[in-house]
């Protein structure tokens, strides 16, 4: 399977690179393309901006923008969502052949004050392979990726948007890349991460776009400061090593885990 991830400018789709990206992917026969978090509309710095760029069902803007994709290509597209009850989410839609596939995935642990936390982790399918979406900060936690892997995901699509103050971006650079490798290895999954790059107004993109194999090998990566598309041919084995690492196989460890989680919540 050929997969790709786009490292976009901080402005996201406003940079106008999508038609060229789609053409590149079509020529290369890409089957799965991951775009950054909030690619459509850009990362909103505050709630008024988020309100202005938010999209409601049926998410016509990203679906229309992806209408020229070949029907064999699946796209994970990040955008700001306005739900039926008016809440705002950092969400990712899966689009194939001009249609929305399943539910959107909503970021579970948003750091941005404009966004509400999501509550679910949908599973998607591409041919015989299941995949899930882990949005930006969610990849810093063990649980979202592990839950998707236990549900059967063999690929984790990670739309990132590390549009941060320069000192923060550089302070997180190594940690971000290491975290993506950790999520791949501990879950025996391919990780396809799409980030942003460039500088503007004292902010800098993290440039962590990469494709990582289940053994932690980086199959393809973008230069941190450059925009562009990275691709790789991946082989997703039918058998996963994950079953060896399931905490439920040892009841004592599971009880300890549940006790610690309850303690953190202040439960008895």
Kindly give, in sequence order, each residue whose CB lies less than 8 Å from that of residue 215, ignoring residues fewer than 6 positions away: 184, 185
Cα separation of 183 and 248, whole Å? Answer: 19
pLDDT tens figures, 76-94: 999 999 999 999 999 999 9
**What is the gyration radius of the CA atoms in the chain, in angstroms?**
18
Domain range list for the chain? 2-242
Instruction: Give the closest residue to 118 by CA, choosing from 102, 130, 135.
Output: 135
Reported as type and span, the H/E element at residue 260 is helix 251-264
pLDDT computed for residue 58 by the predictor: 83
CATH of 2-242, one of 3.40.1440.10, 3.60.110.10, 1.10.760.10, 3.30.70.890: 3.60.110.10
Q: pTM of the entire structure?
A: 0.93
pLDDT tens figures, 163-178: 999 999 999 999 999 9
- pLDDT at residue 181 tops 80: yes
pLDDT computed for residue 76 by the predictor: 98
């Amino acid at each position: 399977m050929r997969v790709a991830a786009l490292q976009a400018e901080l402005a996201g789709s406003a940079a106008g690179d999508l038609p060229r990206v789609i053409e590149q992917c079509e020529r290369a026969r890409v089957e799965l393309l991951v775009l950054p978090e909030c690619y459509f509309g850009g990362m909103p710095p505050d709630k008024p901006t988020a309100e202005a760029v938010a999209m409601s069902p049926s998410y016509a803007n990203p679906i229309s923008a992806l209408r020229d994709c070949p029907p064999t290509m699946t796209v994970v597209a990040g955008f700001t969502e306005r739900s039926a009850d008016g809440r705002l989410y950092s969400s990712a839609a899966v689009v194939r052949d001009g249609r929305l596939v399943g539910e959107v995935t909503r970021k579970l642990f948003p750091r941005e004050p404009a966004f509400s936390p999501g509550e679910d982790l949908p599973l998607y399918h591409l041919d015989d392979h299941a995949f899930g979406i882990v949005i930006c900060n969610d990849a810093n936690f063990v649980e979202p990726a592990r839950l998707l892997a236990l549900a059967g995901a063999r690929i984790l699509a990670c739309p990132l948007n590390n549009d941060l103050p320069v000192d923060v971006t550089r302070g997180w650079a190594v940690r971000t890349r290491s975290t993506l490798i950790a999520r791949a290895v501990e879950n025996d999954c391919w990780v396809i991460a799409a980030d942003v790059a460039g500088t503007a107004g004292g902010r800098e993109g993290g440039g962590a776009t990469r494709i990582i194999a289940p053994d932690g090998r980086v199959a393809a990566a973008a230069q941190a400061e450059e925009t562009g598309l990275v691709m790789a041919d991946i082989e997703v084995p039918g058998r996963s090593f994950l079953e060896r690492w399931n905490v439920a196989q040892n009841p004592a460890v599971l009880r300890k885990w549940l006790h610690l989680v309850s303690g953190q919540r202040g439960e008895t």
